[in-house]
């Protein structure tokens, strides 16, 4: 999945089937213009989103990750998003220690009727990621640099 180099960044979106995916669909049916950096992965519920999905994406080259589910009290499975909220908040607060910018990860709630809101979320998040630029790539050069940096820091 190579991004259109120069212009586009790689953003992964995990959307719950019942609300946010429907919301994104509503935005599409309403023919709203949206940035095209986001690649959507549909999951049954935001409670399905293991924080490791997000971490694995970020470590392996995603520039941003967006998770979206039903509003609290609106979960199709009653309580999936409550668990998701706790996990994702913990994850968001955990990122700084890894040296990953917390702004590269965001979670939010969008319902199936909120096409306009979905457009706003995508625009704002994509804009934020473009301000940050591409994520650092962990390759041989980066590792060598890091080792030199660590050696001089001691």
Partner 1 sequence: MQYLNELKEKIKENLPELDMVVGWEQGFDSLRASPLFMRTEDDVDKMIWGPLCVHNLATYLPSLKGKKVGVVVKGCDSRSVIQLLQEKLIKRDDIMVFGLPCTGVVSLRKIQDNLGSLDYIESTEVDGDSLNITVDGTNHAFKLEDVAANKCSRCQYHNALLSDVFIGDPITEEAEDEYTDVDEFEDMSLEDRMAFWVSNMSRCVSCYACRNACPMCVCRDHCVAQSRDPHWITQEDTVQNKWFFQMIHSMHLAGRCTECGECERACPVGLPLLLLKRKMNKEIKELFAYKAGTLIDAKTPLLSFKVEEDNINERGW
- Contacts with partner 1, residue ranges (CB under 8 A): 50-52, 55-56, 59-60, 72-73, 79, 82-83, 85-87, 89-91, 93-94, 96-101, 106-109, 117, 120-121, 124, 136, 138, 142-143, 145-147, 149-151, 153
Q: Shortest approach of partner 1 to residue 105 CB, angstroms?
A: 11
87: its two tokens:
């996990």
Cβ nearer to partner 1, comparing 4 with 154: 154
Cβ nearer to partner 1, comparing 31 with 73: 73
Cβ nearer to partner 1, comparing 18 with 119: 119
Strands (E), the chain: 11-16, 38-43, 64-69, 105-109
Cα separation values, 88 from 28, 33, 79, 122, Å = 27, 28, 15, 18
Asked whether 74 and 45 are in contact (CB, 8 A), the reply is no
């Amino acid at each position: 999945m190579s991004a259109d180099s120069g212009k586009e960044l790689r953003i992964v979106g995990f959307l719950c089937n019942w609300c946010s995916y429907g919301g994104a669909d509503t935005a599409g049916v309403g023919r709203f213009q949206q940035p095209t950096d986001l690649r959507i992965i549909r999951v049954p519920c935001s409670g399905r989103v293991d924080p490791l999905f997000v971490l694995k994406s970020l470590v392996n080259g995603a520039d941003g990750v967006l998770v979206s589910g039903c509003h609290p009290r609106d979960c199709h499975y009653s309580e999936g998003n409550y668990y998701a909220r706790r996990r994702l908040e913990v994850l968001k607060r955990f990122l700084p220690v890894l040296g990953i910018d917390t702004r590269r990860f965001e979670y939010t709630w969008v319902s199936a009727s909120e096409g306009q809101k979905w457009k706003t979320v995508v625009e704002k998040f994509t804009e934020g990621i473009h301000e940050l630029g591409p994520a650092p790539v962990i390759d041989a050069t980066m590792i060598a640099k890091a080792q030199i940096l660590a050696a001089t820091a001691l």
